[in-house]
Each structure stands twice: as structure tokens, then as C-alpha cells.
Structure 1
Amino acid sequence: MTKHTTYTSAGSGDTIVFLHGFCESTEVWDEFTKPLQKQFRVVALNLPGFGNNTSGIADYSMEGMADYVKEKLEELGIKKCILVGHSMGGYVGMAFAEKYSSMLSGLCLFHSSALPDTDEKKDNRNKTIEFVEKHGVEKFMQSFIEPLFYSENRERLKKEIALMKKIGTNTPKESVTGGLAAMRDRKDRTDVLAAAKYPFLFIFGKDDGAVPLDKALEQCHLPDNSMVYFLGQTGHMGMFERTYETRKALEKFAETIYG
């Protein structure tokens, strides 16, 4: 595996590109993607402001991050790929799909959504920004990470929760507040789903507080070609909570596209 401050790359063949979520990094994909590397070229990017990609970030918007993804793919010689976006990475993926659809062979929304924030969610983002400004990132991580996992999975996944807290705590305060504001202000991209000429894979946790089931059902039928996977007893972190099942779903999706 090639490790760089802004990306990791391993394997060869058709390309799958992974985008992490809010306050995450390429590390969340390290173990998950290993079996996929036997069949595909697997690239994971650190989005602007996160992981080790934290210097001189001027634009945290989903559109700005999508532009960054395009530049990085071009730099890595990737003309076309399947893009997999977890949570905020999916929001970036939808912005990328709107601007650079010709570079997509397929798109996976992995515990993510094309819908904008509700007014209630926007208020919560604003309160969280205030909390982080006042109390700092480490205090925020103490209450933010565990609820992303389904309650009955938390004991089993203590190591993964600790990893997530470590990654999150190392995220600069400006990236946390910038990311929260950018997610709050993102637009509705359900029209991008409806117009897509490439296949979609949706992976949803039935116990995901961040992407509730009714919101999942609102959008998964919109693309012409979509595969949908609902997972019971699963929160927002399927790559850890249901590693085998989510990876298999992604593998089948990629095989369907790439043959």
C-alpha cells in the first residue's frame, strides 16, 4: 500500500475511491478495503481539513471538497471510478456527481444522503459549532462518537470506537466547525440522483440516527439503477458494525459494473 498524507492507494485494476465521513480519515477504510485490493485498485482520500490533510484549508464546502477530489483523481491518473462516500463523504460524492458525472462508473452512498439538513438538524449543527468553540474538540468527541454505533454493538467494538475518538480528537477545531457549517449549508441533490446515468448503491443502517429510515426510503428509488441494502442492528458505522456484509455488497456492486 502507498501511504501519503492525502491518500492511500493499493491493488490494481478498475478503481474504487473511498471518501471518509466527518472527523474521520483514510484510517477508517484500512482494514475494510484489504480484501478488495485483490481485485481492484483501492484509493482512499483524506478530505480537506481531515486526517493528515490539514494545512492551508480555505474551503470546507461540499463543492470545494468535490473540486479537491477531482484534482486528486487527475493527479493519480484516475479517469473513471466507483466513488464510495461515508456520511459527509457521501455529501461530497453527490457534489462531485453534480459537477463531474463523466468520471463516475458508479456511486455508493454509505450511510449517507442526497437530502439537505432539516431545519432542526441545522439548529443542532449551530449548537454543536458553539459547543466546540467553547469546550474544544476533545470534549465534543466524548459525546459524539459512541452514538454513531448501534447500542448493542458498542461493547464489541470498543477498539474501533477508540480509533474513531483518536482520529476525531486529532482533527483541528477549524476543520470541525468548518465541516459542520458546510454540512449545514449543503443543498438538496435529489435531482442529481434522479438524473444519474450510472448505478447507485445505498447502504443504510436501520438504527442510524444520522440517516433515519424514512429519509433513506425517500431517496433510494430515485435513480434509474439502484441497489439498496438495509441492515438491522446497525447504526452509522457499517464498515465496523457489519464489515463482511457491507464489503460484500460493495464487491457485488463493483463486479456488476466492472464485470
Structure 2
Amino acid sequence: MNKNITFKNANLSFSDEGKGSTVVLIHGFLENSTMWDTIKPELSKRNRIITIDLLGHGKSDCLGYVHSMEIFAEAVEAVLKHLKLRKFILVGHSLGGYVCLQIAKNNPTKIKGLCLLNSTSNEDSEERKKLRFRANKMIQNNFTNMVRMSFVNLFGEESRLKFKTEINAALQEALQTPIQGYIAANEGMRIRENSNAVLLENYFKKLIIAGEKDPVLDVETSLQEAKKTSSEIVVLNGGHMSTIENKFDLIDVLLKFIN
């Protein structure tokens, strides 16, 4: 059952289930905390699992038209403070990984472990920044088609057929994202800085989970990043959406990381 707090006059929605080591799960762009529903039951058997709807996603409100990683992190930290959490493990998918890096930068002594799931500590390439800028212009007149196209493109042809039902359910959640939430998050990702140092300069456990066929994050770049930042890396055989494409393998990897 979801709970709520107020942050800067905005509603923040979160859930808190299970007992044990505290694990905070942060969803990605055009997702919300329901993305974890397929793996949360296993993780919460022996752990306390916190899921949070980021600003402008799910049941959480927007704050303006730029959600920087700093403001995303501040909102998540408000929930963690409300829950009086002193130590925790962070797991962030895609955009959620960028937010987790900012939280770790702000609170390094509170972090027991950080997992980047289909995510990176690298900043956007210049080409990707231009794509985000263009998308924010186009989304205002063509929201449904833009979301549908960008979401489906996260999956390879084989996955689109194999996980058709799951992809459609996730797409329906994505389409609930308000246009303002889309624009604010996309701009925040566009202007975010490189966070390699957060991984390299801290001693908490670090794990990168990459997709061998990820169309967004090249697996070779992820392997280089892991080496550069002294992070462990696990490569799954799917693409960008490991909770759908590699659910059981992902659960195994996360449980080993948590424990």
C-alpha cells in the first residue's frame, strides 16, 4: 500500500514493505514504482524494500519544468529521512541510477551498496543531449506517439514478441506520465554531470547490471565504465528493461548483492 509525504508543497508517493536490510528501489524515466512489482515479492522476503515514485512520475507531483538530479535526490532523501533510515542499499534503473548516484554523492556514509541497473555514471553524449532537447520540443504536440515509440524502442524484436503482454502493461504505465513530468525529467538528464567519481572515490559495494543487447547503453561502454570506476559488473542477455527481460536472473543477482 502506498503512503505519502509532502515535499516543497508536492505530493511524494512511496511504499515500505518487509523487514531486514533496507533496499531503496528507484525507477526509471516514464516508469513508476509499479515497475518493481514483479521482483519485489522475492526481495522483500528477507529485506525491507522501499519504492518511491520520482517527481513527475506515478502518484508523485511535478516541481516545475526541470527536475535536476539534485532535486530528484532531495525528494527521495525527504522520504528516507521521514522513514528515519540510517543505512541503506540503493538500486536505480536507468534515470533512477542517476538519482542514486546523486544521493550517494550527498550521503556517502549512509550507503551500504549502490547498484546501477541498465544505468551509467557517465554523462550524456552531445548527440544524446541534442536528442533530448528535440524530444522535449516534439512531445508537446505528439505525446502518445512519442512515448509509444521511445518505449518500444527499448526492446529488441525478439523481446517485443516474447514479452508482448508485459511490455504493453509497462507502456500503459508510461502513458500515465504527465507531459510536464516527461519534459522535466528529460531536461534533468540532459544537464546532468559525469558521476564517475562517486563510484571511484567511495568504498561502498558497487554493481553495474548491464544488458548485452541494450539499445540505449552500449555494453562495451558499460564494461569500460566498470573497469574505470572499480565496480563489479554483471551482464544479462537482455536489453534495457531487465525487470521484464531477465526477471529471474535479475532477482538472483540482486539478492546476492544485497546479502
TM-score of the aligned structures, taking structure 1 as reference length? 0.93
Tell me if structure 1 keeps the 8 A contact 2:113–2:204: yes
Of residues 128, 142, 155, the one that matches 1:121 is 128
Aligned-residue offset at 1:54: 1.9
SS of 1:196's partner is coil
2:9 aligned residue: none
Of residues 243, 246, 257, the one that matches 1:253 is 257
Tell me if structure 1 keeps the 8 A contact 2:66–2:187: no
Tell me if structure 2 keeps the 8 A contact 1:199–1:223: no
Amino acid aligned to 1:30: D
Aligned-residue offset at 1:56: 4.8
1:157 aligned residue: 163
Tell me if structure 2 keeps the 8 A contact 1:21–1:85: yes
Aligned-residue offset at 1:27: 0.4
Amino acid aligned to 2:218: P
Q: Distance in 1 between matches of 2:250 and 2:232?
A: 12
Q: Deviations over 1:4-53 (max 9, x none)?
A: 25111211111111000001000000121111111100111101110010
SS of 1:31's partner is coil
Aligned-residue offset at 1:58: 6.6
Q: Distance in 2 between matches of 1:96 and 1:210?
A: 23
Of residues 185, 191, 200, the one that matches 1:194 is 200
Q: Aligned-pair RMSD on alpha carbons?
A: 1.4
Q: Deviations over 1:137-190 (max 9, x none)?
A: 212122011121232111121122112211111111011011111100000011
Q: Deviations over 1:75-115 (max 9, x none)?
A: 11211111000000000011111111122100000000000
Change (3 A) 1:27 1:185: same
Q: Deviations over 1:190-245 (max 9, x none)?
A: 11111011011110001111111232022112444x3211122x110001100011
Amino acid aligned to 1:229: V
1:99 aligned residue: 106
Q: Distance in 1 between matches of 2:228 and 2:148?
A: 37
Change (3 A) 1:216 1:55: closer
- Counting aligned pairs with the same residue, the percent is 29
1:3 aligned residue: 2
1:142 aligned residue: 148
Of residues 29, 35, 38, the one that matches 1:28 is 35
Aligned length: 251
Change (3 A) 1:73 1:168: same
Q: Does 1:61 align with 2:46?
A: no
Of residues 207, 224, 231, the one that matches 2:236 is 231
SS of 2:227's partner is coil
Tell me if structure 2 keeps the 8 A contact 1:11–1:37: yes
Change (3 A) 1:145 1:59: closer
1:70 aligned residue: 77
Aligned-residue offset at 1:246: 0.9
Gap regions ≥5 residues in structure 2? 5-12
Q: Distance in 2 between matches of 1:63 and 1:211?
A: 22
Aligned-residue offset at 1:55: 5.0
Q: Distance in 2 between matches of 1:56 and 1:235?
A: 31
Q: Distance in 1 between matches of 2:51 and 2:216?
A: 23
Of residues 86, 89, 92, the one that matches 2:93 is 86
Change (3 A) 1:129 1:239: same
1:170 aligned residue: 176
TM-score of the aligned structures, taking structure 2 as reference length? 0.93
Tell me if structure 1 keeps the 8 A contact 2:95–2:189: yes
Gap regions ≥5 residues in structure 1? none
Tell me if structure 2 keeps the 8 A contact 1:11–1:39: yes
Tell me if structure 1 keeps the 8 A contact 2:31–2:57: yes
